[in-house]
Amino acid sequence: MTGTNPFIAKWSADGHTMCLGHWQISYQGLPCTIPAKYAEKDMGTYGNFSYFYPDDDAYIEGEPFADWIDSNVDWLMDVFMQHNIPVEVEYFQWFYEAVNLNDWRCSSCGGCM
C-alpha cells in the first residue's frame, strides 16, 4: 500500500470503562457512520489486547486482514458507498489498520476481572 491512511479510528472509552465506548471513525476528516451492531463492540482485528500480558503471544486473538475482510466486507461496502469512499482493497486495508490501532477486547482494561 502506498500513501497515507485516510481513516482515523478511535474507541471513545478507555481505562476501566472500555466496554462502555463506541467507535469514532473518520475518512479524510469527515465522520463515518457504521452500523450500530459494529459501532459498540470490538472489531475483531488481529492482535494482543491483554491488559496483564500484552507481550505474550498466547493472548493473540482476532482475525488477520485477509480473514477479517471476508467476514466484514458486506457491511463495510455499504458504509463505503454511503460515504463516497472508494470500494477498493487498499481502502479496506486502511480501514482495518486504523481500527486495529485502537481495537480492544472485553478484558483489555483489566477492570471487570
What are 2-26's pLDDT values in tens digits? 689 999 999 998 877 778 899 999 9
Can you tell me which residue has the cell 469514532?
Answer: 24
Burial of 19 (0-12, 13-18, 19+ CB in 10 A): middle
Counting every residue written for the chain, the total comes to 113
pLDDT of 96: 98
pLDDT of 66: 97
pLDDT digits (tens, 9 = 90+) for 45-100: 999 988 888 899 998 999 999 999 999 999 999 999 999 999 999 999 999 999 99
pLDDT of 50: 83
